[in-house]
A and B are shown apart, each in its own frame.
Chain A
Amino acid sequence: MKFMLMMNAPRGNGEWGVSSWTPDDLKNHIAFMKTFTGDLASRGELVAAEGLAAPGQAKLVRAGKDRRPITDGIFPESKEFLAGYWIVDVDSPDRAYEIAAGASAAPGKGGEPLYMPIEVREVMSAPPVEV
């Protein structure tokens, strides 16, 4: 069964704001994420993982009456943004939660665990049952 693990980070200079981290904090965090994702790959569980560009570059897009894109900057009041995601293929939901907890505890300022909320959603891929 496949799950998408979405890492939501707060915007700006909130409590995890990376602008207050030391270079070593950053280095540890990046090294952790690299090892974490590498470990998922070596266990044969990783389907995909991506980090997303900062929300300052994000656009909201809608189709206009002529079907052409109308873009808008992302709204500043949203407190959290999707920073990145993993899609994993595992044997049980519990394993997906375990992986999410691992990501949640990624080190932040001073090497302390961030305890980020990770949203875990199952990918629709189950076989239909014949009635």
Chain B
Amino acid sequence: MTRQPAEFRHENLLRELTPQVLGAVIRRFGDFGAAEDAVQEALLAATQQWPKEGLPENPRGWLIHVAARRMTDHLRAEAARRRRETEVASDPSREPRVVPSIGLPSLASLVTNAGAARTLRDTEPDDTLILLFMCCHPALSPSSAVALTLRAVGGLTTAEIARAFLVPESTMAQRISRAKQSIRTSGVPFSMPTREERSDRLASVLHVLYLIFNEGYTSSFGTRLQRTELSGEAIRLTRATHALVPDESEVAGLLALMLLTDARRAARTGPDGELIPLDKQDRSLWDQASIAEGVELISRTLSKGAVGPYQLQAAIAAVHDEAQRSEDTDWPQILALYALLTRMSDNPMVALNHAIAVGMVHGPRAGLDRLKALDADDRVAGHYRIAAVRAHLLERAGEYEAAIEHYRMAAERTTSIPERDYLTSQAARLAAGETANDE
């Protein structure tokens, strides 16, 4: 069941309507899992019929109508199946019998129970948000939540999601089906989380959106393009979430962080997919429109108060993006932001970046001193990133032999191919006696 985005010009409209249509169908029939399948079938029908018959006058109503019809068929088949099972069980000859598929008394109650008072055209602006809360529920594993969100809220097909994550379609289908099963068994209602739950649940949503964005940053040979689309999809979903809850400052912060990071996409890899670090990037390739939008958004958000980690990371990204040249970077400002971030979250990766900023402002020795504390932290001791940062600081301190050793150590430990290649080349460059191209 693959739709073809490139050839189908209504793809964006469909993807935007997906959560609204799904929300309407769930409100009418309940059963998130079956409703989600019915909506996918309606999306497929649209890609087949709209190019031939033209865009319907009310695309959303059309989709809801088709999905509701599929849902009715599904419920009818389920009722028939249940009845058949009962009859077979009670029939001593155990001969399967054909049961008429219409006019079952149980059907009417099934169909009308869930939302008799509503018409199918009703969609609620909050449906997209409720769906996000459901799909990113903490009962789901991160990979399940990511897959389900992309399908149920993002409107991607299982085949598209499988391609993006480089797993077989059948595996992705099972992952999504299990995720739906978890939602069913955990009994998450289709409604907004309570006031008490809200901030934790919103944090889960933001984490899942962040994971989707980050996945898009993995580059593997021949698949970079599809994965890049994941970052675009994460931005689209975060933008939609921000539009629904403009006062949630961390949602705005995450959107700004994504925009400001994604702005550097064209500059961050070379022609062969090799990694180019921030200080060596061709800044003329940065997307100025994304930077302007991200900077405006984070400035406006920070001025409102209630600062959180995503906002601070966005602010740091903004400082980088606003520097015309690497040497213009306002490192004291970045250092101050990391100091705030370190106080807010006990994340060793934040502490690591803090050490980099210390090294830029107070010199490599001060940065190396900072790193020592991390060696004692079980969560990251031996992590390749510590070795990579240490190598860089040692090189700046003129300790080339030790720097080579740590670059190599980091290269052995990373699980990212572009990063391994980058670190290996750094070690090779130093070993060949080239030391001047750093500062």
**Residues on A close to B: CB < 8 A?**
1-2, 41-48, 89-91, 122-131
Contact = CB atoms under 8 A, between A and B. Distances in A.
Contact of B385 (A2, A45, A129): A129
A90 B414 CA distance: 18
Contact of B175 (A44, A48, A122, A126): A44
A45 B171 contact: yes
A58 to B, nearest CB: 27
B218 A43 contact: no
A125 B422 CA distance: 15
Contacts of B174: 41-44
A131 B334 CA distance: 13
Nearest to A129: B385
Chain B contact patch, size range: 35 or more
A84 B172 CA distance: 23
B165 interface: yes
B62 interface: no
B344 interface: no
Contacts of A42: 174, 178
Contact of A89 (B171, B177, B356, B418): B171
Nearest to B349: A129
B329 interface: no
Nearest to A1: B415
A46 B388 CA distance: 32
Given A130-B264, A131-B277, A44 B420 contact: no
B144 interface: yes
B356 A131 contact: yes
Interface in B401-418: 414-418
A78 to B, nearest CB: 26
A57 B219 CA distance: 36
Given A45-B175, A128-B219, A129-B385, 4 more contacts: A43-B174, A129-B416, A130-B264, A131-B388
Contact of A128 (B165, B170, B416): B416
Contact of A46 (B168, B176, B217): B168
B275 interface: yes
Given A126-B218, A128-B217, A44 B416 contact: no
Contact of B178 (A44, A91, A124, A131): A44
Contacts of B218: 125-128
B232 interface: no
B142 A124 contact: no
A45 B170 CA distance: 10
A122 B214 CA distance: 19
Contacts of B147: 44
B166 interface: yes
A89 B143 contact: yes
Interface string B120-141: 0000000000000000000001
A122 B178 contact: no
A36 to B, nearest CB: 15
Contacts of B264: 130
7 contacts: A48-B168, A125-B220, A126-B218, A126-B419, A127-B217, A129-B416, A130-B278
A122 B416 CA distance: 10
B215 interface: yes
Interface string B211-246: 000110111100000000000000000000000000
B268 interface: yes
Contacts of A43: 174-175, 178
Contact of B416 (A47, A48, A90, A126): A126
Contacts of B422: 128
B415 A122 contact: yes
B415 A131 contact: no
B261 interface: yes
A129 B170 CA distance: 30
B108 interface: no
Given A47-B168, A89-B167, A127 B268 contact: no
Residue of B171, B416, B417 ringed by the most chain A CB atoms within 10 A = B171
Contacts of A41: 170-171, 174
B220 A46 contact: no
A116 B170 CA distance: 29
B439 to A, nearest CB: 15
A91 B143 contact: yes
Interface in B89-146: 141-144
Residue of A44, A89, A126 ringed by the most chain B CB atoms within 10 A = A44
B164 to A, nearest CB: 12
